[in-house]
Structure 1
């Protein structure tokens, strides 16, 4: 597979590992229209801070748990005025820090800077994405090719779903050689085999379309180079639309009948050999093997087969919900219209994404209560879309949005508040969210633990590094240093902020959890190696042996 190389790639390919882990500090909450200082614990989050650090801060709780990601990163048009400001300790990268990315002719490294900015963020987004998850990335012609290459590298080319094109409705009457009125939305899965057929129909499909029918009939007779002619034996009992009758032996119409077919009470009374090219031969053969019971097609739809009144073989597909998603998106709003709608809330923001567009993309993902993440939140369209969809279909999706700019309070959060409470003549959706700031780093210089983050944050971090699962606060009968049990290993963090802790027989006597193995953190250890080996005890020294990720 081709790979893309650029200035600085070797310095950022693992940069996400060097990004300092910082804790998230709760600032305030908003609970169904009421501000609160307490955490609502509703699951909806707005985070203020650099999205690279914020994404890393989410890992202990959310790695592998995000089912839908939508991001709208800088398009690198040369007009945005964004800066590459990641702390990469290398001369080639340092010379870029703090420099505004300029236009093509003025800044020959603008594409390198953009790729250096995007690569580590995509690596962290990949970690956060669940096995069945989907990521949507908005982009235009400036970086589309580069983005496709690095997404192929990070997500795997085999997990590319499609490249949506969005016709950006708006004012295009100004003169140009060729007026660009589209953008792209790259779509990748974590595992394409787990991506379910969407239970949604393109909104541009007319109401009377057969796509909305719960039962679809189509002939499986299909002749062509990809469908070579072959014979199928239809056994006694094969169903038919004909109540009583005979289909004569024939070669003038497809399928050919090698012998006469006698039908009584809607069932074939004798074996018949039919010959044709087939569009669903394998499924038809499965139907026959099943004794004419419904079988699943590639979309999971129940499928049966009948002999039609014309003698054709037709499949009948039954489906509970329609599915029709196409890669060309249109009639889904515009940035101009979205800007006008925001002004009605008293929110002034340039180039917001269309709410209709984001709602449609999220609706492609099946599920009742999954999490939607947006790490380039802007005005908060993704949060708005989640709240709207929940109001429409009664589901319980959650949003996590991240914005680094200071307008996050007066624009992003304010917009979400208006959506929840209602504005003008628009009814509120209801709902809640918590607002967080990026806080203290977990480790100080020289690798020391930063005790200012608090013991509970340290415990959560340590448990995650050991198990790659979040620490769930639960009541237990073990001592206060017990973290949890995972894969029959019990984990203890024997830590006191103002004293030296020791793993000895006295501490072992306080442990109550039975397990096959034990991992115990402490400042010192007085147990012998032979004793620890015999009892499957692993000692880890604080802070030396705490994993950095």
Structure 2
């Protein structure tokens, strides 16, 4: 079932587009092989692991599954993702201790490649200690020497001087002295050390410091500033934690809030997960297709993102389930217009970590937890009985006995605005290659005209001749169709065509043609057989 659907989705995908497919451990290997064949191995973007749970179930058999896969492929090779917005915790690493124009963090003043960038391997004399500072072995300064000279002049006056230090520079480069580039001067102080130290100390105390600065209050090595305003967004990785992309419990709370406390769908995805996909793979004005729409998370995610950035993205949701109207479409409606929902707030009433000591007094711990549980009944909307839960942080998990309560509050959720249309598929035009006889004639005329000309059908031509569809590019089209009788293209039919339908050529759709090819050619007529089973007529 997946292969033909993915073939179609590949055709529909824009040249700059990408597809993200949610799949579990059982099917991801087979899906990867199918996608490699359809999209091409060069168009593989990533196998993203989404941490769909925030706590490991201790009653799971075997190895509990914490992640679900998002298999991502692009239409063309060399697809590049958008960067993600930086978080407050990331930006908190940038400080401004010297009153510079922007916050910054400490970075390495050197880069790899000493042997191939020997002109960037030299000593810099410290104005604080007078020490000659070289890059670490195998590394070179990050900038060309003229730029480094300009930066270091912010501390005190410097000059270039050949120190005849080929042996030391060769050691840094990892080569023999006879192969090191000759004549690369060092940056040395242009004034006595005492005067240079006074200059540098004044800069250190008043700020701001130059981009290359000395660590340990001037007594250490050389580091480099990386400014926050020069740092771009965050590149996405193939691990999406539940803190970043939501989890299944969040998804159920989300849909419960929209549907007045009812979980209208068994396996919803959190809107934050789809919003993250949109953040890295879409731009304003894009058209997003979800061919397995489910609960309508994609529609809500697109509306949420548009409300934030005014991006005007559009979406198409396709769902075959009988809940398409009552759940999928209704979720989109409520997201657009707003709704009176419920906000769930979780309260951890009891949390006892399981250690050797607590295990020994297990009966007492359980009794304490049960007491908390019983006292909370009636106070909260829902209270869970005591159970052992493992809370995972990073790569470690801590088991504990917990009692968790849920308190739900009513709230008015503002709508995102926007609009959408809801359609249901009607009868197919073709059944096993034949025209569907139960369809109205007008639908069939629309189909024949569009597939012949590629133009939308305007209608009204039948007033001139009952079978006339119209004229396009010098060709008049006729659709001789009768649901209960076989239609025939013969001399009398040609004679029935009025002069107002005359054109350079004619295309006539009928069941049977009794005219020889020569006569058809003489009149500029092309016969096309109507795709239907005339034996039953």
CA deviation map 1:141-172 (0-9, x unaligned): 11111111111111111110001001113342
Q: Does the residue aligned with 2:284 lie in a helix, a strand or coil?
A: coil
> Which residue among 221, 224, 240 is the counterpart of 1:329?
240
Aligned to 2:272: 356
CA deviation map 1:99-156 (0-9, x unaligned): xxxxxxxxxxxxxxxxxx2222211211211111111111111111111111111111
Aligned to 2:530: 543
**Structure 1 residues 512 and 171: alpha-carbon distance in aligned structure 2, compared to 1, 3 A threshold:** farther
Aligned to 2:415: 428
Q: Is 2:301 aligned against 1:385?
A: yes
Aligned to 2:256: 343
Give the distance between the partners of 1:544 and 1:215, measured in 2 at CA: 72
Aligned to 2:389: none
Q: Is 2:287 aligned against 1:371?
A: yes
- TM-superposed CA distance for 1:539, in Å, is 4.0
- Listed as ranges, the matches of 1:76-225 within 5 Å are 117-176=1-60, 177-193=62-78, 195-201=79-85, 206-208=90-92, 222-223=111-112
Q: Does the residue aligned with 2:90 lie in a helix, a strand or coil?
A: coil
Task: Name the count of aligned residue pairs.
Answer: 366
| TM-score, normalised via structure 1 length | 0.53
- Contact map agreement 1:201 1:324 (CA 8 A) in 2: no
- Contact map agreement 1:504 1:525 (CA 8 A) in 2: no
Aligned to 1:259: 183
| TM-score, normalised via structure 2 length | 0.54
- Contact map agreement 1:219 1:313 (CA 8 A) in 2: yes
Q: Does the residue aligned with 2:91 lie in a helix, a strand or coil?
A: coil
Root mean square deviation, CA, Å: 5.2
Structure (1/2) with the larger helix percentage: 2
Aligned to 2:116: 229
Q: Does the residue aligned with 1:399 lie in a helix, a strand or coil?
A: strand
In our comparison, the structure showing a higher alpha carbon Rg is: 2
Give the distance between the partners of 1:139 and 1:341, measured in 2 at CA: 21
**Structure 1 residues 391 and 510: alpha-carbon distance in aligned structure 2, compared to 1, 3 A threshold:** same
- Contact map agreement 1:246 1:260 (CA 8 A) in 2: no
Aligned to 2:424: 437
- TM-superposed CA distance for 1:313, in Å, is 12
- TM-superposed CA distance for 1:441, in Å, is 1.6
- Contact map agreement 2:475 2:503 (CA 8 A) in 1: no
Instruction: Give the unaligned 5+ runs of structure 2.
Output: 95-101, 121-142, 174-179, 188-210, 214-221, 341-411, 533-537
- TM-superposed CA distance for 1:343, in Å, is 1.7
- Contact map agreement 1:202 1:326 (CA 8 A) in 2: no
Q: Is 2:479 aligned against 1:495?
A: yes
**Structure 1 residues 495 and 205: alpha-carbon distance in aligned structure 2, compared to 1, 3 A threshold:** farther
- TM-superposed CA distance for 1:258, in Å, is 4.2
- 407-416 or 234-243, which moves further after superposition? 234-243
Q: With a CA cutoff of 8 Å and minimum separation of 6, indicate the structure with the bigger relative contact order.
A: 1
- TM-superposed CA distance for 1:326, in Å, is 1.2
Aligned to 1:414: 330
- 310-319 or 519-528, which moves further after superposition? 310-319
- Contact map agreement 1:375 1:402 (CA 8 A) in 2: yes
Instruction: Give the unaligned 5+ runs of structure 1.
Output: 1-116, 264-307
Q: Does the residue aligned with 1:153 lie in a helix, a strand or coil?
A: helix
